[in-house]
Amino acid sequence: MDNYIEEGELKYIRDFINGVEDDEVVEIQPFDPEKISIDTKPVTMDTCLRRLEQETIILNPDFQRNEVWTLEKKCRLIESLILKFHYQCFMFRLMKMEFFM
């Protein structure tokens, strides 16, 4: 039995380990803005807190980049909400009727 790896197999293994997929397998679909519906609705903090308690808001979805918010930034956001400072809107992605992201 041969105990060596062919060059093509080695590249495949390295790509697999590094999360690189074969170009033939990956199909990138173009963005279709017609399929996106944006609806702005004011939501009270009570509603947001209730949704958090009911776990219908997912704060750390799989697509969220790691370490985007430092601990200091998280604390400042919470503090500004408590002090009722003006803040920009929050964007939620409705996955199913019962879950918000």
The residue with tokens 């963005």 is 31
pLDDT tens-digit map of 21-79:
555 555 556 666 677 666 777 888 888 888 888 888 777 666 556 667 777 777 777 77
pTM of the complete model: 0.34
Residue 1, pLDDT score: 45
Angstrom CA distances, 31 to 34, 35, 61, stand at 9, 9, 21
Strand, coil or helix: 94: strand
For the chain, give the longest Cα–Cα distance: 71
- Report how far residue 79's alpha carbon sits from residue 58's, in angstroms, rounded to the nearest whole number: 21
Angle, vertex CA 14, rays to CA 61 and CA 3, nearest 5: 140
**pLDDT higher than 50, residue 85:** yes
